[in-house]
A = this chain, B = another copy of it.
Amino acid sequence: MSPTGESSAAVAADFVLRGASELVTMNAPPAEGLGAIAGGALAARYGVIVWVGREADLAQAVDLALDGIDADAEGHCVLPGFVDAHTHVPFAGSRAAEYGERLAGSSYGEILARSGGINVTVAATRRASEEELARLSSARYDSMLRHGTTTAEVKSGYGLTVADEAKQLRAAATPHALRRELTFLGAHLVPPEYAGHADDYVRLVCDEMIPACAPLARWCDVFCDEGAFTVEQARRVLSAGAAAALGLRIHADELARSGGSMLAAELGCASADHLMHATGEEIAAMKAAGVVAVLLPGTSYTLGVPFAPARAFLEAGVTVALASDFNPGSCNCENLQLMISLACQGMKLTPDEALYAATVGGAAALRRDDVGNLAVGKRCDFSVLVAESRTELPYHFGVNLVSDVVVGGRVVVRAGSVCRGSSAPEPTAVCARDAPPEAGGSR
């Protein structure tokens, strides 16, 4: 109420974004144009969006605090921050050598069987200190932010002991502007010291790792596939995870049609991920159970295997999320913009379907109702492209089209550089030109 007793029409804000050529709210599905507003603007307070509309209405609708940030997209396109629902960030070591082997024709399974592959990462991750893993993770989070990802799911799964899984999860939680959803993936593979004794390892996961790691994570995941864990073992792990109040997700039907998606439907997992071998039966079961399909085109690209049947999922009405699967073996890429390109080229998604899957889809896979679109009540997380239209994003591929990123109403990337306390604005900055240099320090 105003002092005169009349209700004020203006909403109070501490952050305003204007100057967007189009503000792609994602408040409508691809078939309805993604809710893009030409000349759109938004306002936020305390990191949460309080107003979205046309810039022409901004002055009347919003009351920006005197010390608020008045950011200008200077004629560029604004997108919600990407939500990457599947990553394996906190690892140590490089597997560049294996990359050449795979090109020469060795399969994922062959490399694994020679006890190279993922075991190289396990050994390096076990050797690394928590501080080293946190440093490595933080640098990767920087890169994810710079490419427009503002929320990411992050899995453990290279420690494979109680102490090393917990170490990975603590390292993954290192303070950073990137929003994270942590996932315990102790059942990623059977570690070498348990070779031939997978059930004993599953017992360790259920009886010791989950109790120790549940307080550090929100989700429990399992790699259910040929050469990994059986459906029965995966059911035990996920049931123990659920008993520890963890949400459930699953690596399913990546290497073979092996029952993982059906288990996801049975247990009501939030997502089943990979799904290159899913068929109509799996798709129908996932649809009925509300399981989100997390599709990872960078993995198919790297492994040289077919892409998941994305169109079949969409046609069945299953919610599709596009994610990076960023990991040191089968997809060493953290850039969701390239995943959008690969989804268009390899899975025949339309550009708008791919953008929706990388934002709204990712949020659905993580059961987050506060990110993925730009609406009142949502987090003020968005990126500014060096392009006037979202259509440039899959069209102009292989480069980073994100120039500026805002998380919770704070500028965290400006002109391609992550903002720290000491960083000065770049001469080419397009965003938040009036913001103080110290805005948005990410640590």
Listed stretches A64-72, A195-203, A251-259, A298-306; interface member: A298-306
Residues of chain B with a CB closer than 8 A to A369's CB: none
Q: Knowing A94-B392, A304-B345, A345-B302 touch, does A398 contact B350 (C-beta < 8 A)? A: no
Residues of chain B with a CB closer than 8 A to A397's CB: 302, 332-333, 338
Listed stretches A11-19, A55-63, A420-428, A433-441; interface member: A420-428
Residues of chain B with a CB closer than 8 A to A423's CB: 426-427
Q: A5 in the interface, Cβ–Cβ < 8 Å? A: no
Listed stretches A97-105, A120-128, A278-286; interface member: A97-105
Contact present for B96 and A334 (CB under 8 Å) = no
**CB < 8 Å neighbour of A420 from B103, B143, B427:** B427
Q: A335 in the interface, Cβ–Cβ < 8 Å? A: yes
Q: A416 in the interface, Cβ–Cβ < 8 Å? A: yes
The proximity string for A residues 343-361 relative to B, scoring 1 for CB distances below 8 Å and 0 otherwise, is 0110011110000000000
**CB < 8 Å neighbour of A350 from B103, B348, B395:** B103
* Cα-based distance from A298 to B304 in the complex (angstroms): 16
Q: Which of A247-284 contact B (CB under 8 A)?
A: none
Q: A103, A349, A427: which has the most chain B beta carbons within 10 Å?
A: A103
Contact present for B332 and A94 (CB under 8 Å) = no
* Copies in the assembly, this chain: 2
Residues of chain B with a CB closer than 8 A to A100's CB: 350-351, 391
**CB < 8 Å neighbour of A399 from B94, B143, B301:** B143
Q: A400 in the interface, Cβ–Cβ < 8 Å? A: yes
Contact present for A96 and B332 (CB under 8 Å) = no
Contact-residue size bin, chain A (C-beta under 8 Å from the other chain): 35 or more
Contact present for B99 and A351 (CB under 8 Å) = yes
* Cα-based distance from A389 to B104 in the complex (angstroms): 20
The proximity string for A residues 313-330 relative to B, scoring 1 for CB distances below 8 Å and 0 otherwise, is 000000000000000000
* Cα-based distance from A302 to B398 in the complex (angstroms): 11
Residues of chain B with a CB closer than 8 A to A417's CB: 415-417, 426
Q: A372 in the interface, Cβ–Cβ < 8 Å? A: no
Nearest CB in chain B: distance from A288 CB, A: 30
Contact present for A398 and B104 (CB under 8 Å) = no
**CB < 8 Å neighbour of A424 from B94, B344, B424:** B424
Q: Knowing A416-B417, A420-B427, A424-B424 touch, does A344 contact B399 (C-beta < 8 A)? A: no
Nearest CB in chain B: distance from A98 CB, A: 9
Closest partner residue, chain B, to A353 (CB atom): B103
Residues of chain B with a CB closer than 8 A to A350's CB: 100, 103-104
Residues of chain B with a CB closer than 8 A to A344's CB: 103
**CB < 8 Å neighbour of A334 from B399, B420, B427:** B399
Closest partner residue, chain B, to A351 (CB atom): B100
Nearest CB in chain B: distance from A416 CB, A: 6
Q: A410 in the interface, Cβ–Cβ < 8 Å? A: no
Contact present for B95 and A333 (CB under 8 Å) = no
Q: Knowing A302-B345, A351-B103, A389-B96 touch, does A398 contact B395 (C-beta < 8 A)? A: no
* Cα-based distance from A301 to B398 in the complex (angstroms): 11
